[in-house]
Amino acid sequence: MVNLNDVRDEIKEYAPSVELMAVSKTHPYEAVLECYDLGQRLFGENRVQEVAEKFPPKAERPEGMYVALIGHLQSNKVRKVLPLVDRIDSVDSIALMDKLERELSGNDRVLDILFEVNASGEAQKSGFESDDALFEAVKHLPEVPHLNLRGLMTVGPLGNDRDANIRCFSHVRQLYDKIRDEYGISLDILSMGMSGDWKEACDCGSTEVRIGTAIFGKRSYDV
């Protein structure tokens, strides 16, 4: 049984305006539907293959179910993932932007995206690794009209250190504000915080938290 209501109540009490994304990584579609029946509409998945295997085609999903890819996207999987998701939160290079644009332009579809920022600088994480690289991607947006930048996403540093989390999240919030203020882009999503650090993320201005374990329980990596 999912623990959605307790998580939702805790977030609502701590940060009423923050949206919850339920991340069902390795958990079955039945658990997703259980959350849907309780009113959850925004879901995240890490892997293209799992989206393809778990979720039915978009036309067959319940009304209002919205699925975002939050894990690293390889360019050779772009064509496969586009029909499966409503948003890609892990765009991390100009090359990937161009690949998405080529595929989307053929269908005249505009796709919501987030730029992923590797604010912790950890080698095992994806995302733009420097502010300059991020701003070059922002400047490239006019060249990819089928991509609609909604905001930024980041993963907090390993170790669950509160001060390190706050430094990371605060920096990404500053980048978010700079893109809005200096580039005039109307961003509305700052996706920061997971089961272990979402409160620090909310303190730093997160508008959307990605919760998996606290809702669905421990993950089974036999999947």
The answer on pLDDT for 223 being more than 60 is no
Residue 14: per-residue pLDDT: 98
Nearest Cα to 64, choosing from 87, 36, 84? Answer: 36
Residues 136-156 have pLDDT tens digits of 999 999 999 999 999 999 999
SS3 content of the chain, % helix, strand, coil (to 5): 45, 20, 35
25 vs 43: CA distance, rounded Å: 10
Residues 169-190 have pLDDT tens digits of 999 999 999 999 999 999 999 9
Measuring CA to CA, how many Å separate 51 from each of 7, 27, 48, 104, 196?
23, 11, 5, 19, 24
Q: Is 187:206 a contact under the CB 8 Å cutoff?
A: no
Residues 77-125 have pLDDT tens digits of 999 999 999 999 999 999 999 999 999 999 999 999 999 999 988 888 9
Name the phi and psi angles at 45, rounded to 5. -135, 145
Average pLDDT, the chain: 95
Name the phi and psi angles at 89, rounded to 5. -95, 0
The answer on pLDDT for 222 being more than 60 is no
User: Tokens for 8?
Assistant: 């939702």
Residue 13: per-residue pLDDT: 98
